[in-house]
Amino acid sequence: MRFIYIFDPLCGWCYGFTPVVQQLQERSNGDMAFDVLSGGMITGDNRHPFSSMATYIQREHTNVESMTGVKFGQAFLEKLLPSEEIMDSEKPSIALTVFKQYQPENALTFAHDMQVALNYHGQSLNNDSTYRSLIKKFSLPEDEFISRLHEEHYRYETNQEFQLVQNWGITGYPAAILDTGKQLYLCARGYTPLDRLEETIENILREHNSL
């Protein structure tokens, strides 16, 4: 059985939902495999400066905080958000693809580390230096990782992942799919508290086992 978490590194509600998925993983005691896929929320012609979203995010971030418990840092809200830095999902998504080549079992942790770097510390996910600092705790080869981050092969793989998510009909993030081995079930659309997520999974398994 596989839990597939579909997120985007720039998605504020995903920032709030990743800790829920981490708790679910801890409570599953190894009975369920966990994958993290990137959806490609802001790519190509959809890219734009953070400043163009500043008014909306300044208003919305308090809803994310109150519902999920995560915190947005002043470095993000006061420095990065009003800036002309470009919002682009592709590079952090490629970083996740590269990371999964090394330590797939820690992909969820790395995904959350990227979210904290962005939303709390206000670090740009467009900069190589951000990833150099993030991978230190995982003892990965820094120069090799950064080199792979710029290889067309990993960009292609990441865009294939975007396409897979699109083919599933998922256009909003976060989302989650339960793969029973025989069928895929959508078990979360948008932020979902842990108790409701576990209840949904139990209901899916009950229905699946009765078939």
CA distance 133 to 136: 6
pLDDT digits (tens, 9 = 90+) for 51-105: 999 999 999 999 999 999 999 999 999 999 999 999 999 999 999 999 999 999 9
pLDDT at position 31 over 90: no
pLDDT of residue 73: 98
The pLDDT of residue 209 = 78
* pLDDT of amino acid 210: 73
Task: Name the amino acid, one letter, at 185.
Answer: Y
Q: Which runs of consecutive H residues, i.e. helices, occur in the chain?
A: 12-27, 54-68, 74, 90-102, 107-119, 128-134, 142-149, 152-167, 194-210
Residue 211's pLDDT band (boundaries 50, 70, 90)? low
Q: How many CB atoms lie within 10 A of CB 8?
A: 26
Closest listed residue to residue 1, CA positions, set 128, 151, 177, 165: 177
Provide the whole-model pTM: 0.95
CATH number of 2-210: 3.40.30.10
Query: Strand 2-7 vs strand 48-49: parallel, antiparallel, or unpaired?
Result: unpaired
pLDDT at 29 over 90: no
pLDDT at 135 over 70: yes
List the chain domain ranges.
2-210
Neighbours of 18 (CB within 10 A): 25
- For 76, which DSSP code? I
